[in-house]
C-alpha cells in the first residue's frame, strides 16, 4: 500500500506482509480477511489516498475479489474488499488494483515506446498471471467479472517428452494440472519433488547454483517448469500479432534470471509447425524483456491506475 495525503502524489511507502493463507495456514479465511482489513485501516493516515496493489483476481471496476490462492487458498466466495474498506474508513480514498495490472502499468510506462501497440506483463511467482493493455486505445479490456489474463489457472499442456510424469500435480486453487501447478514458485517445488530432486524446501536456494554447475536434474526441472510459460507466449503471439512487447517478472523469473531467460528463448526459437516457424534473437530482443528485481514496481503502477480507469472496460 502507498498512502498519502489528499494532494500528495508520492506518499510514503510502507511494506508489511499480508496475513495470507501461505503464511498462516492455521487461520480461517474469514479471520484472514478481517485481519487484512484491520491492518489496512490501521495504517492509512486520515483523509489519505491509498493505492493498493492486491495479489488476487479482482474486479477492477468494483474492488470485489473473486479469489486469491496465496491469500485465501481455494476459497471461492467473492469478497468486496473495497466496499469493506470504504465502510470502515470512509475518509480514505481507496484504490484497489490487481498486482499484475499494477505491474503492467508500471512496466508499460517505463518500457513501452511510442511504436508499441499492445503491451503485456507476465508474472511467474507464487502464481502465474498475465495482463495486456491496448496502448493505441488506452484500454485494458476485462470480462464480465472485471477480470483478464488469469492464465495460471488454465489447464497445462504436458507435451514435452516425459512430461506425463507431472500429471495430477495440485494447484493452489484446489484443482490439478493447471499452469501454476508446474510453472509457479510452489509448482517448481512440486516438480522437483516429483522428479525426486533435492528436498523441496531447498529448491529455490539450490537451483540457481545447480544450473550454473550444469546439474542434469536441475536442467530437467527448469525445462519442465519453463515449458508452459513458453507455450503461453507462443499462443499469445499467434493470437495477437500486434502484441509488440511482453515483460516477464516475478520471483521465479528473477531468481533463475539468465537461466530462465535462456530456456524460454531456446523454446521460442524452435519451430513447431509451418505457422510457427520459431523466433530468432533479433525478433525476441525487441519484444521480450526479462525484468530484474525492482525493475517493475506494482506500487508505482497502482498510483497510475487513475489515468487508466476510464479505459478498463468490460
Ligand atoms: Zn489453479
What residues are neighbours of ligand 1 (ion), with CB under 5 Å?
Answer: 153, 171, 173, 175, 178
Residue 68 is part of which domain span? 2-97
Residue-level pLDDT at 286: 92
Residue-level pLDDT at 117: 98
How far apart are alpha carbons 65 and 121 in whole angstroms? Answer: 20
**Sign, CA torsion 114/53/285/149:** negative
83 and 114 together in one domain: no
Residue at which a domain ends, from 97, 119, 135? 97
- Ligand 1 geometric centre to CA of 113 (Å): 34
- Ligand 1 geometric centre to CA of 8 (Å): 39
Let me know: does 44 contact 50? Beta carbons within 8 Å. yes
Beta strand pairing status for 79-80 and 64-67? antiparallel
- Ligand 1 geometric centre to CA of 128 (Å): 9
* Nearest alpha-carbon partner for 168 in 149, 198, 151, 193: 193
Angle at alpha carbon of residue 76, lines to 59 and 310, rounded to 5°: 5
State the CATH number of the domain containing residue 22.
3.30.420
Residue-level pLDDT at 40: 93
- Size of the chain, expressed as the number of residues it contains: 314
Residue-level pLDDT at 7: 44
Residue at which a domain ends, from 44, 74, 97? 97
118 and 69 together in one domain: no
Q: What is the largest CA-CA distance in the chain?
A: 61
Helix 81-88 × helix 29-43 angle, to 10°: 50
Residue-level pLDDT at 232: 97
Please report whether residue 76 resides in a domain.
Answer: yes
Q: pLDDT tens per residue, the chain (314 residues)?
A: 655 544 445 666 777 788 888 889 899 999 999 999 999 999 999 999 888 888 888 887 778 888 887 788 888 888 999 899 999 999 999 888 888 999 999 999 999 999 999 999 999 998 999 999 999 999 999 888 888 999 999 999 998 888 999 999 999 889 999 999 999 999 999 999 999 986 656 888 899 999 999 999 999 999 999 999 999 999 999 999 999 999 999 999 999 999 999 999 999 999 988 888 899 999 999 999 999 999 999 888 988 887 777 777 88
110 and 84 together in one domain: no
Residue 232's SS3 state is helix
How far apart are alpha carbons 214 and 282 in whole angstroms? Answer: 26
How far apart are alpha carbons 134 and 141 in whole angstroms? Answer: 8
Three-state helix/strand/coil letters over 21-49: CCCCCCCCHHHHHHHHHHHHHHHCCCCCE
**Mind listing the pLDDT tens digit for each residue in 124-153?**
998 999 999 999 999 999 888 888 999 999
89 and 107 together in one domain: no
- Ligand 1 geometric centre to CA of 178 (Å): 5
Residue-level pLDDT at 9: 52
Residue-level pLDDT at 6: 46
- Ligand 1 geometric centre to CA of 155 (Å): 8
148 and 262 together in one domain: yes
State the CATH number of the domain containing residue 132.
3.30.420.40
- Ligand 1 geometric centre to CA of 286 (Å): 31
189 and 270 together in one domain: yes
Residue-level pLDDT at 4: 54
- Ligand 1 geometric centre to CA of 214 (Å): 31
Sheet of strand 93-98, all strands in order from the earlier edge strand to the far edge: 2-4, 49-54, 93-98
How far apart are alpha carbons 303 and 314 in whole angstroms? Answer: 22
Residue-level pLDDT at 199: 63
DSSP state of 310: G
123 and 169 together in one domain: yes
Phi, psi of 309 (to 5 degrees): -50, -40
- Ligand 1 geometric centre to CA of 7 (Å): 40
**Mind listing the pLDDT tens digit for each residue in 102-119?**
999 999 999 999 999 999
89 and 114 together in one domain: no
Burial of 256 (0-12, 13-18, 19+ CB in 10 A): buried
Residue-level pLDDT at 73: 81
Count of structural domains within the chain? 2
- Ligand 1 geometric centre to CA of 68 (Å): 10
- Ligand 1 geometric centre to CA of 305 (Å): 27
Please report whether residue 199 resides in a domain.
Answer: yes
Residue-level pLDDT at 200: 57
- Ligand 1 geometric centre to CA of 75 (Å): 12
Amino acid at each position: 500500500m502507498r498512502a498519502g495525503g489528499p494532494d500528495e502524489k508520492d506518499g510514503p511507502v510502507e511494506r508489511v506482509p499480508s496475513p495470507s493463507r501461505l503464511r498462516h495456514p492455521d487461520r480461517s479465511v474469514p479471520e484472514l480477511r478481517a485481519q487484512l482489513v484491520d491492518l489496512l485501516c490501521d495504517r492509512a493516515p486520515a483523509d489519505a489516498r491509498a493505492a493498493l496493489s492486491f495479489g488476487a483476481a479482482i474486479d477492477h471496476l468494483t474492488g470485489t475479489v473473486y479469489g486469491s490462492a496465496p491469500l485465501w487458498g481455494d476459497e471461492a466466495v467473492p469478497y468486496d474488499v473495497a466496499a469493506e474498506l470504504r465502510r470502515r474508513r470512509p475518509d480514505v480514498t481507496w484504490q484497489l488494483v490487481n498486482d499484475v495490472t499494477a505491474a503492467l502499468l508500471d512496466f508499460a510506462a517505463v518500457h513501452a515506446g511510442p511504436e508499441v501497440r499492445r503491451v503485456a506483463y507476465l508474472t511467474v511467482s507464487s502464481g502465474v498471471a498475465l495482463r495486456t493493455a491496448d496502448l493505441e486505445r488506452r484500454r485494458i479490456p476485462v470480462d464480465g467479472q472485471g477480470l483478464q489474463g488469469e492464465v495460471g489457472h488454465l489447464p497445462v499442456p504436458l507435451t514435452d517428452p516425459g512430461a506425463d510424469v507431472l500429471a495430477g500435480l495440485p494447484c493452489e486453487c484446489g484443482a490439478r494440472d493447471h499452469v501454476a501447478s508446474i510453472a509457479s514458485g510452489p509448482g517448481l517445488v512440486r516438480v522437483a519433488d516429483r522428479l525426486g530432486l533435492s528436498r523441496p524446501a531447498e529448491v529455490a536456494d539450490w537451483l540457481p547454483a545447480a544450473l550454473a554447475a550444469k546439474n542434469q536434474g536441475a536442467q530437467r526441472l527448469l525445462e519442465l517448469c519453463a515449458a508452459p510459460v513458453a507455450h503461453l507466449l507462443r499462443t499469445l503471439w499467434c493470437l495477437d500479432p500486434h502484441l509488440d512487447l511482453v515483460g516477464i517478472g516475478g520471483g521465479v523469473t528473477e531468481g533463475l534470471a539468465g537461466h530462465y531467460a535462456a530456456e524460454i528463448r531456446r523454446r521460442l526459437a524452435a519451430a513447431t509447425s509451418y505457422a510457427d516457424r520459431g523466433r530468432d534473437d533479433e525478433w525476441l530482443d525487441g519484444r521480450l524483456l526479462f525484468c530484474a528485481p525492482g525493475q517493475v514496481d506494482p506500487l508505482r503502477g497502482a498510483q497510475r491506475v487513475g489515468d487508466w480507469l476510464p479505459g478498463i472496460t468490460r
